[in-house]
Structure 1
Amino acid sequence: MPTVPLDTPADQLRSAQLAAVRRLLAAVIPGNPFYARKFSGRDPREVDSMEAFARLPFTTKAELTANQAEYPPYGSNLTFPIEHYTRFHQTSGTTTGRPLHWLDTLESWEWLIGCWHTNFALFGLTQKDRLFFPFSFGPFLGFWSAFEAASRAGFLTMPGGGMTSTGRLRFLLEHRCTVLFATPTYALHLAELAAKEGVDLANSAVRAIVVAGEPGGNIPATRQRLEAVWGARVFDHYGMTEMGPTAVEAAGRPGEMYLLECDYLAEVVNSRTGLPVAEGESGELVLTNLGRMGSPLIRYRTGDMVRVATSPDPTGRSWRRLDGGILGRADDMLHVRGNNLYPSAIEAIVRRFPAVAEYRIHVDHTNPLADLRLEVEPASGDGNSLADNIGRAIRDELFFRVDVTAAAPGSLPRFEMKAARIVRTAR
């Protein structure tokens, strides 16, 4: 359970966070080579206010990638000798092309497990729930930490590795699982298979779907489609292998994600200037994990765009909320013939068409002005009229024309992990 309750007054919460930051810096600066060099000449005792903390330099993924290349294979962001570490994980590498390797001590792992226990409480899970994880358990952090946390919390926890997607679907139904953990893409793929098998998922035992790893849970059309075909409540979750489970929706509060402020210090900054944005404005999320001492991240620029809700929380919780969840990635914005948009804007339109089984975005940078083309795969048929209707909807709502073509049923790739739906052609 969180050490700082959700209804702690904001001033007491900030005071507790500052105390945690000071403990983190006191432990990290002397013994962690990465931060000892990065914060050279700084005395952690001088960080006596949030303003002083905000003067520390940012940490970026590019820095971490370069550091691991310089000190392979794990880099120098290790507070303790290597013998103290017990867990290895790595990122997907989809944003930089090179996965980050990440080690955790037993103490850091316990902290991660505690974050998930907080999440389970916010989801409103009970001991009657049966949790299903339909994934092959590779080095990605999220499934391991959530699975182990669920088992320790006393839930009947079902692994789905080593099965085909059809096998997983049958397993879920046979064991009457009530909570599914998946990417939005994979949850939709299972629904696609169920339709082909004549299975009515809306009448299954599944009552909740926890989605993470990609946009979708915060996109209304995708959420509505998932909830309709599964007959279940969707909970959006946000986290990163290198950071940990960071924000989550709560029962009764759809469309907003609570930052786990008992375990993280969050800032929102202008992605160009690095300065704090005004209250209620969107900006880049910057995070510090307060309990992952073995491999910490301090003022880490996530690249994810968010907007903190300004309306009072009717539940009385003081933890900040992300209005609309993750809005997009700063480096994912598409610049197409004078128009700037996040891929989620395309998905928000495409997912309103139930006949779409899958889609793919092509961005061609070979000309001075980038061109965008969209492939849509119908569940059946040739899809030409479907492509025309989607093209018209994009033109009417986004105010520019996109070439939309139909792909043959079953021709576009399916994804178990993070979907890679954007194909870029370089100059």
Structure 2
Amino acid sequence: MSMDYTPYWNPVLEKMDREKLQRLQLLKFKRIFTWAYEHSRFHRALYDDAGIAPADIHSFEDIRRVPKVEKSMMRGIQRKDPFPYGDMLCVPLEEVTAFRQTSGSTGQPVYQADTWQDWEWWAECWSFIMWAQGYRPSDRVFLPFGYNVFVAFWAAHYAAEKIGCELVPGGVLDTQARILKIQELKATAIMATPTYILGMADTARRKMDIDPAGLGVTKVTCAGEPGASIPTTKQRMQDAWNARVYDHAGATEIGAWSYECAAQPGGMHVNEAFFLVEIEDVDSGEIIDEPCRRGKMVITALDRFAQPCIRFDSKDIIEWGEKPCACGRTFRLIKGGVIGRADDITKVKGVLLAPSAIEEVVRGIDGLGDEYEVVVDKLGDIDRIKLKVELDPGQEERAKVIETELKDQLRLKTNLSYRLEFYDYGRLPRYDVKAKRFKDLRKHL
């Protein structure tokens, strides 16, 4: 028996004329804004206080008058009636079919309610991502994540099934068992955080005498951390697995909003058929439309109804790309993917520092392991920054050369000098999901 599968290369949406696409976004924004205004006590109060109503939305300039929502607001209303979501919920509780929550890496987890329609929308967003990255019904996709209340790759699971891939869930297995299952079943694709992708490769080589590059994996899709958009980290993963590595960005309260396509243009497409992304200057609040100017992302999920995400202040730092992508999609590119979070970009000795810049340096130096740790503190009134790194086994004789290169590259890429500490391989902490490598102790002084 043969089956026909609907391709997710959708030229009607993905190659839509920009003017038509913006008209679609405006119509969708007005629809979700009206829905929230009429069905959510939280949104109604927020918009009434700002003096804006559905009848006032006619243009993108009007959209910019709509108040932003921050994660702290969502935390403030949850665990109230209707329990546990509070008065942001737009549907009766009996219509909620899926519960997820954020990872809690930036504070108390935020609860997310979805209807069956919302969850189908999540899977549809992910279907666009996977098709753009070359996933096809012939793929056998291994998902090595722990299936729990954190959204992680849940929607990727359903999207893989939706486009016809064979899906192998590896949630309850440990790392070595997952590697053996990938080997046994000849999986062609895997999805995980960059930290775990590198960790799996390291476990295969050092503990199991298995070369991950020979396992036959051809595609790796990453999420959860900026690593897959950092060239040196991407290269380490591609070399380790002998596979194409793709980035994607999403969040529990937003959805899967951007993706790298098979053309790998040095950035990610915003899935503009389903999301409206604005870039806001961190200091002035001005909306940035021109390329190559960084700001924080304000995003609206245009088709998510149980718990709407309207002008959400994500804190993600991004910038528009300069050129259209060679793949033919008209969805705009964000250059270099998500650069970091506004919460993480901090001043050290008067210099703005993005932790991703340190990762790019460490992962680009031959002889250093994949793990590192950054600690910022103060001595009196003076900022100090320490970088802990591991030497790969057998690199002891090159330690001085590596140290000199590391100092030079850090100075060049971050304009800062560091106290360096070198450790034997395996001494620094390992992480399975989101890594916590940047520690700013000044916040606790």
TM-score between the two structures when normalised by the length of structure 1: 0.95
Amino acid at match of 1:405: E
Structure 2 residue aligned with 1:152:
162
The answer to whether 1:36 aligns with 2:44 is yes
Q: CA deviation at 1:373?
A: 0.5
Q: Which residue matches 2:437? A: 421
Match 1:394 to one of 410, 417, 431: 410
Write the distance in 2 (CA, Å) between the matches of 1:301 and 1:401: 33
Change (3 A) 1:390 1:98: same
Report how far residue 325 of structure 1 moved: 0.7
Q: Which of 287-296 and 397-406 deviates more?
A: 397-406
Counterpart of 1:5? 13
Q: Which residue of 1 aligns with 2:137?
A: 127
* 1:361-400 deviation digits (Å, cap 9, x = unpaired): 1111464232110111223268654445423431344333
Asked whether the 8 Å contact 2:278–2:287 carries over to 1, the reply is: yes
Q: Which amino acid in structure 2 is aligned with residue 350 of structure 1?
A: V
Matched, 1:317 2:333: no
* Equivalent residue for 2:153, pick from 134, 137, 143: 143
Q: What's the offset of the Cα at 1:24?
A: 1.1
**2 CA distance for matches of 1:39 and 1:401?**
47
Deviates most, 334-343 or 290-299:
334-343
Unaligned runs of 5+ in 1: none
| Match of residue 370 from structure 1 | 383
Change in CA separation of 1:379 and 1:160 when aligned onto 2, cut-off 3 Å: farther
Report whether the alignment pairs 1:14 with 2:22.
yes
Distance across 2 between alignment mates of 1:313 and 1:11: 17
Q: How many residues align?
A: 426
Counterpart residue number, 2:278: 267
Q: Which runs of 5+ in 2 are unaligned?
A: 1-7
Q: Deviation digits for residues 229-266 of structure 1, max 9, x if unmatched?
A: 11111100000011000000001134220100110011
Alignment of 1:156-235 (within 5 A): 156-196=166-206, 197-235=208-246
Residue 229 of structure 2 contacts residue 266 of structure 2 at CA under 8 Å; is this kept in 1?
yes
Matched, 1:403 2:419: yes
Q: How far apart in 1 are the matches of 2:374 and 2:278?
A: 32
Indicate the SS of the match to 1:331. coil
What residue is the counterpart of 1:256 in the other structure?
267
Which amino acid counterpart does residue 227 of structure 1 have in structure 2?
Q
Q: Tell which deviates more after alignment, 11-20 or 373-382.
A: 373-382
Q: Distance in 2 between matches of 1:31 and 1:278?
A: 32
Q: Which amino acid aligns with 1:56?
A: V
Query: Residue 267 of structure 2: SS of its match in structure 1?
Result: strand
AA aligned opposite 2:175: S
Aligned-pair identity (%)? 33
Counterparts in 2 of 1:7 and 1:382: CA distance versus 1, 3 Å = closer
What is the deviation of 1:313?
A: 3.3
CA contact (8 A) 2:100 2:112 kept: yes
Aligned equivalent of 2:4: none
Contact in 2 for aligned 1:391/1:403 (Cα 8 Å): no
Q: Secondary structure at the match of 2:205?
A: helix
Match of 2:365 among 353, 356, 365: 353
Distance 2:383 2:159 in 1: 45
Q: CA offsets per residue over residues 391-413 of structure 1, 9 Å max, x none?
A: 34313443331011012332222
The answer for the alignment partner of 2:5 in structure 1 is: none
User: Contact between 1:394 and 1:400, CA under 8 Å: does it hold in 2?
Assistant: yes
Q: State the 1:36 CA deviation.
A: 1.2
Offset at residue 318 of structure 1 (A): 1.4
Amino acid at match of 2:348: V
- Is the 8 Å Cα contact of residues 3 and 262 (structure 1) preserved in structure 2? no
1:276 to 264, 283, 287: 287
- Give deviations 1:96-128, integer Å, cap 9, x for gaps: x21111110111111111111111221121111
How far residue 293 of structure 1 moved from its aligned partner, in angstroms, is: 0.7
Counterpart CA distance in 2 for 1:58 and 1:232 is 40
Contact 2:102-2:150 within 8 A present in 1 as well: yes
Equivalent in the alignment of 1:238: 249
Q: Secondary structure at the match of 1:62?
A: helix
Structure 1 residue 23 displacement after superposition: 1.4
- 1:41-52 correspondence runs (5 A): 41-52=51-62
Pairing partner for 2:128 from 118, 129, 149: 118
Question: Which deviations, in whole Å up to 9, do the C-alpha atoms of 1:263-304 show, x marking residues without a partner?
Answer: 001111102222112501211111100111111111111101
Please give the root-mean-square deviation of Cα atoms over the aligned residues, in Å.
Answer: 1.9
For residue 10 of structure 1, report the CA deviation from its aligned partner.
0.5
For residue 174 of structure 2, what is the amino acid of its counterpart? T
Write the distance in 2 (CA, Å) between the matches of 1:219 and 1:330. Answer: 17
Determine the C-alpha separation between the residues in 1 that align with 2:124 and 2:211.
36
Residue identity opposite 1:224 in structure 2: Q
- TM-score, length-normalised on structure 2? 0.91
- Distance between the aligned counterparts of 1:13 and 1:194, measured in 2? 46
8 Å Cα contact 1:382-1:406 kept in structure 2: no
Alignment partners' CA distance in 1, 2:12 and 2:379 = 52
